[in-house]
């Protein structure tokens, strides 16, 4: 039996440790939301950190071994790293649903993040399938610890959460994914290319949801969005943004140039 409110569904996903169980429950909750037009938002007590499987081992970024991308081992490592990001993203989208129910938001806000959570769950499955085609699986390699830091740092501020997670971290995905697609094209791995192209197309939407609801909240509080964005990113995101930026896809996602360029590190 699935929970009766979308916030309780979100909490249940966050409290599920196994990756396949988490993404399966995630997609079932999405289906229930879509099948139940009057499903209540409800309230929840999301954990500060989501439940995660015993594997992968989580290491500090500098301790995660680097592998050369031109080799099969390098491609497995890259697919594993992206799978880890996608699983984290599943939790991030359910967390924004569970954590901010005290702030009245239109139903469309929940529609958007439910859809994003569904897509991340699918992305994780696509990558895990690619890992098994290489004889590996999610959990077989160490992964970055600290991916949840942005969520913890912004657990009390919805505008900061939107600025840092979709508008900075997910936007970064738009910058780096074309290079990864090229790498798998060069290796002749068409199935990984197809998976990454699906991810690339759908991630634009997640960044766009962030920008849309960030601007909505700025409007509610009569704040100028650009300086508000700069202030929140400087406060909650540790370090400058890294060019080169994918200006075209960022524009498609509703991120103006003058939002992110002033936060870039000196070239
Ligand atoms: Fe994704
Ligand atoms: Fe995403």
For residue 95, the CA-to-ligand 2 centroid distance in Å is 13
* Nearest bound ligand to the CA of residue 195: 1
Ligand that lies nearest to the alpha carbon of residue 208, given by its number in the listed order: 2
Q: 15 C-alpha vs ligand 2 centroid, how far in Å?
A: 20
Encoding tokens for residue 17? 């440790």
Give the ligand at the shortest distance from the Cα of 85: 1
Please give the DSSP secondary-structure letter assigned to residue 143. E
For residue 74, report the distance from its CA to the centre of ligand 2, in Å: 23
Q: What percent of the chain has pLDDT over 70?
A: 99
53: CA distance to ligand 2 center in Å?
A: 21
3 state DSSP class of 86: helix
Ligand 2 geometric centre to CA of 203 (Å): 5
CA 81 to centroid of chain Cα atoms:
13
* Spacing, Cα 86 to ligand 2 middle (Å): 7
Distance between Cα 87 and ligand 1 center (Å): 8
Query: Which position has the token pair 């990558």?
Result: 127
C-alpha 252 – ligand 2 centre gap (Å)? 15
**What confidence category does residue 137 fall into, taking pLDDT thresholds of 50, 70 and 90?**
very high
How confident is the model over 218-260, as pLDDT tens digits? 999 999 999 999 999 999 998 899 999 999 999 999 999 999 9
Confidence of residue 266 (pLDDT cuts 50, 70, 90): low
The CA radius of gyration of the chain, in Å to the nearest whole number, is 18
Q: Is the pTM of this model over 0.85?
A: yes
Helix, strand, coil in percent for the chain, rounding step 5: 65, 0, 35
**CA separation (Å) from 111 to 6, 14, 95, 114?**
10, 18, 14, 5
100 Cα: distance to centroid of ligand 1 (angstroms): 22
And the tokens for 37? Answer: 């037009």
Q: If you measure from the C-alpha of residue 123 to the centroid of ligand 1, how many angstroms do you get, rounded to a whole number?
A: 5
Q: Is 254 exposed, middle or buried (0-12, 13-18, 19+ CB in 10 A)?
A: middle
pLDDT at 256: 96
Find the 235 Cα to ligand 1 centroid distance in Å.
25
**Does the pLDDT at position 267 exceed 60?**
no
How many angstroms separate the alpha carbon of residue 89 from the centre of ligand 2?
A: 6
Contacts for 18 with CB less than 8 Å, ≥ 6 apart: 53
Q: Report CA torsion sign: 96, 100, 105, 110.
A: positive
CB 188 within 8 A of CB 257: no
- 56's CB contacts (< 8 A; 6+ apart) are 80, 84, 138, 139, 140, 141, 142, 143
Residue with tokens 């991308």: 69
List residues, by chain if needed, whose CB lies under 5 Å from ion ligand 1: 86, 120, 123
Q: What is the 3-state secondary structure (H, E, C) of 101-133?
A: CCCCCCHHHHHHHHHHHHHHHHHHHHHHHHHHH
Residue 199 Cα, ligand 1 centroid: separation in angstroms? 6
Distance in Å, CA 116 to ligand 1 centroid = 8
What pLDDT, in 10s, does the model give residues 8-18? 999 999 999 99
- Encode pLDDT of 172-205 as tens digits: 999 999 999 999 999 999 999 999 999 999 999 9
Q: Find the 253 Cα to ligand 2 centroid distance in Å.
A: 12
């Amino acid at each position: 039996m699935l929970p009766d409110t979308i916030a309780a569904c979100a909490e249940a996903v966050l409290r599920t440790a196994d990756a396949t169980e988490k993404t399966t429950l995630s997609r079932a909750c999405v289906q229930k939301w879509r099948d139940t037009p009057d499903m209540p938002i409800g309230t929840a007590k999301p954990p500060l950190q989501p439940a995660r499987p015993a594997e992968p081992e989580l290491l500090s970024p500098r301790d995660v071994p680097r592998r050369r991308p031109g080799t099969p081992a390098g491609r497995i490592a890259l697919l594993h790293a992206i799978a880890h990001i996608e699983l984290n993203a599943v939790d991030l989208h359910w967390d924004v649903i569970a954590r901010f129910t005290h702030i009245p938001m239109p139903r469309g806000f929940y529609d958007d993040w439910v859809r994003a959570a569904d897509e991340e769950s699918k992305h994780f499955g696509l990558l895990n399938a690619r890992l098994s085609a290489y004889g590996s699986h999610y959990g077989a390699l160490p992964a970055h610890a600290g991916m949840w830091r942005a969520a913890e740092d912004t657990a009390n501020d919805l505008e900061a959460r939107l600025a840092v997670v979709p508008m900075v971290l997910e936007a970064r995905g738009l910058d780096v994914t074309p290079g990864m697609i090229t790498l798998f094209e060069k290796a002749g791995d068409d199935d990984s290319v197809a998976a990454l192209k699906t991810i690339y197309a759908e991630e634009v939407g997640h960044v766009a949801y962030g920008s849309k609801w960030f601007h909505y909240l700025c409007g509610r509080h009569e704040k100028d969005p650009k300086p508000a964005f700069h202030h929140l990113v400087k406060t909650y995101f540790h370090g400058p943004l890294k060019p080169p930026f994918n200006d075209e896809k960022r524009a498609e996602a509703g991120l103006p140039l003058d939002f992110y360029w002033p936060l870039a590190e000196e070239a």
